Amino acid sequence: MTIQCISISFSVPSVSKPGGLQAWKGSKHKDWQLLRLRAKACDKLQLTSAHWVGDRNTCLFKIWSKISTHTIRSSVLVSAKKDAERFHHHSENEVHVRPEIHGRKTRPGRPEPASPPDHILFQGFNWESHSKHSWYTDLKGKVCDLAIAGITDVWLPPPSQSVDKQGYLPSQLYNLDQSFYGNETELKDLIDELHEHGICCIADIVINHRSGWRQDSAGHWNIFEGGTPDKRLDWGPWAVVDNDIYDSGGKGHHDSGESYGAAPDLDHTSKQVQDELTDWLNWLKAEIGFDGWRFDFVKGYAPTYTQLYCERTNPTFAVGELWTSLSYVNGRLAGNQNFHRQQLCDWIDGTNACSCAFDFTTKGILQAALQGEHWRLRDDHGKPSGLIGWYPQKAVTFVDNHDTGSTQRHWNFPDEKVLLGYVYIITHPGMPCVRDICAPTIKMKHMHLF
């Protein structure tokens, strides 16, 4: 069988020089921007399954060798020149400042966000990163390498004080000094370093639920404190849905999504909840320096509220985690996953396209396909079988994240196929999210951040 692939452009022209595979492996310019598909391009290549056999370098070289026409080569060089100019611009230490607005002091100006097809998102933590204090400071030392690799956006962990060490049971949302990843000053320093290198910062936003600060008279954990001297985000049971399976004693409206179970679900129909969460998000932008959002557990509340928060805060990039089960037949992944990717499309449409979505459909199909079932990679119409086949401009592809992989391994990609998984997502439509720095760049070859 063949796998259809659309024309591709490379970041740098050096890989077109003669020298074969060894020269390709030795190139100092390879990065995550290499072999990025331009989703608007027309089909040019007919790639067989043989092009996906071998390690990452071998696969990329085979695909590069397939490109032979003068037209495509020329477009590669043009794109390479533009990317090189963009990188050179960021490497000249041209820091623009915006005094008395960004964090109440002069700090580096915000970088120009990447255009939608060119986003390369990096997950800047895993499930155990909290144990390395300060994680913010540790990651700051690797920012230059991320920039060289072509990363455009870094997804950072939940920043607030939380009942759990990972940050996914937040309580005092304004309190950034009691995060297990580091304190507020260290977080700002990391964000400034990323901005100086032209990288945008994406905050992990956990607002489906919230851990109570203390109990009410009936023993329910539904009294909240915001972490400030004033009353911001100081809420009571009125801010919690009244049908929460957590038994939180909530007195708000019915939940507009699934119940989380580990903490009280917030009532997003409440105007005060909407307004004060909006204020907090805008504070994260203006005071702390974040640029965009990754919304956690978005199946817990209606997508119209994600739209509301995006429209009120104007993030440079937003993506939601809608993790639902794929279809299985007798314990085996079904061949047709249209229902699953339709759920993702419906959620994106529910946000009025204000947010992208992680392409869980492609992840599930890809990790099954690379076990010798390549037929799964195309649907009945010859398009990719995941969200990238229907809604590529809003699909964020990934191989693993802190939940599916890391030490949790709830749904991990086969270890021996991870590099091939990366080859696939960086050569297909959608915006790839990477979490392992194994791209063979000059300073990052075979290096893992965690």
For 4, list phi and psi in degrees, rounded to 5: -75, 140
Q: Classify 338 as helix, strand or coil.
A: helix
The amino acid sitting at 423 is V
pLDDT tens digits for range 263-282: 999 999 999 999 999 999 99
Q: What pLDDT shows up at residue 62?
A: 54
Catalytic residue among 31, 189, 204, 321: 321
- Looking at residue 412, its pLDDT comes to 86
CA distance 269 to 257: 12
Higher pLDDT, 124 or 24: 124
Higher-pLDDT residue of 447 and 400 is 400
Q: Name the pLDDT band for 333 (thresholds 50, 70, 90).
A: very high
For residues 375 and 387, give the distance between their C-alpha atoms in angstroms, rounded to a whole number.
17
pLDDT digits (tens, 9 = 90+) for 215-249: 999 999 999 999 999 999 999 999 999 999 988 99
- Given a contact cutoff of 8 angstroms between Cβ atoms, the answer to whether 377 and 383 are in contact is no
User: Within a 10 A sphere around the Cβ of 163, how many other Cβ atoms?
Assistant: 16
What is the helix (H) or strand (E) element at residue 201, kind and residue range? strand 200-205
412 or 10, greater pLDDT: 412
Q: Which residue has the higher pLDDT, 99 or 82?
A: 82
Section 83-97 average pLDDT = 44
The pLDDT of residue 102:
56
Quickly list DSSP for 383-449. SBSSGGGT-GGGEEEES--TTTSTTT-SSPPPGGGHHHHHHHHHTSSSEEEE-S-----TTTTT---
**pLDDT for position 410:** 84
Residue among 149, 167, 135 nearest 31 (CA): 149
Of residues 81 and 201, which shows the higher confidence score? 201
- Strand 395-398 and strand 318-320: the pairing is unpaired
pLDDT at 437: 52
- C-alpha–C-alpha distance, residues 379 and 110, integer Å: 41
Is the pLDDT confidence value at 290 over 90? yes
On the question of pLDDT at 2 being above 50, the answer is no
Provide the pLDDT confidence category of residue 80 given band limits of 50, 70 and 90. Answer: very low
Lowest mean pLDDT among 307-311, 340-344, 445-449: 445-449
DSSP 8-state secondary structure symbol assigned to residue 244? -
Q: Rounded to an integer, what distance in angstroms lies between the CA atom of residue 357 and that of residue 378?
A: 20
Token output for 76: 């590669």
pLDDT of residue 391: 98
Residue 425 has pLDDT above 50, yes or no: yes
Three-class DSSP category at 287: helix
Residue 104 pLDDT: 63
Identify the top-confidence range among 15-24, 109-118, 250-259, 431-440: 250-259
pLDDT at 283: 98
Alpha carbon distance 171, 164 (integer Å) = 10
**Number of CB atoms found within 10 A of residue 16's CB:** 14
127 confidence band (pLDDT: 50, 70, 90): confident
275 is catalytic: no
The encoded tokens of residue 7 equal: 């024309």
d(CA 389, CA 15): 29
Asked whether residue 111 carries a pLDDT value surpassing 70, the answer given is yes
Residue 77 predicted with pLDDT over 50: no
Sign of the CA dihedral running 412, 294, 342, 301: positive
Q: What is the pLDDT of residue 285?
A: 97
Judge contact between 370 and 417, C-beta under 8 A. yes
pLDDT value for 131 = 87
Would you state the pLDDT for residue 1? 31
Does the pLDDT value for residue 448 go beyond 60? no
| Of 364 and 437, more confident | 364
* The pLDDT of residue 3 is above 80: no
Beta bridge partners of 6: 43
The mean per-residue pLDDT over the stretch 61-65 comes to 52
- Of the chain, the percentage scoring pLDDT greater than 70 comes to 74
Where do we find the tokens 């989380």?
260
Q: What is the pTM of this model?
A: 0.79
| Domains detected in the chain | 101-434 (3.20.20.80)
Residue 51 in 3-state DSSP? helix
* 37 three-class SS: strand
Q: Is the pLDDT of residue 166 over 70?
A: yes
Whether the per-residue pLDDT at 8 is higher than 90: the answer is no
71 contacts: CB under 8 Å, gap ≥ 6: none
- Cis omega before residue 179 (within 30°)? no
pLDDT value of residue 351: 98
64 sits in the region (left: phi over 0; alpha: psi -120 to 50; else beta) called alpha
Angstrom distance (rounded) from CA 300 to CA 285: 24
What value does the mean pLDDT of the chain take?
81
Q: Distance (Å, rounded) from C-alpha 146 to C-alpha 169? A: 29
Whether 186 is catalytic = no
* Residue written as token pair 């000249």: 92
Closest C-alpha among 125, 118, 53 to residue 400: 125
Of 186, 196, 276, 296, the active-site residue reads: 296
What does DSSP say about strands 200-205 and 292-295: parallel, antiparallel, or unpaired? parallel
* Stretch 379-392: mean pLDDT: 97
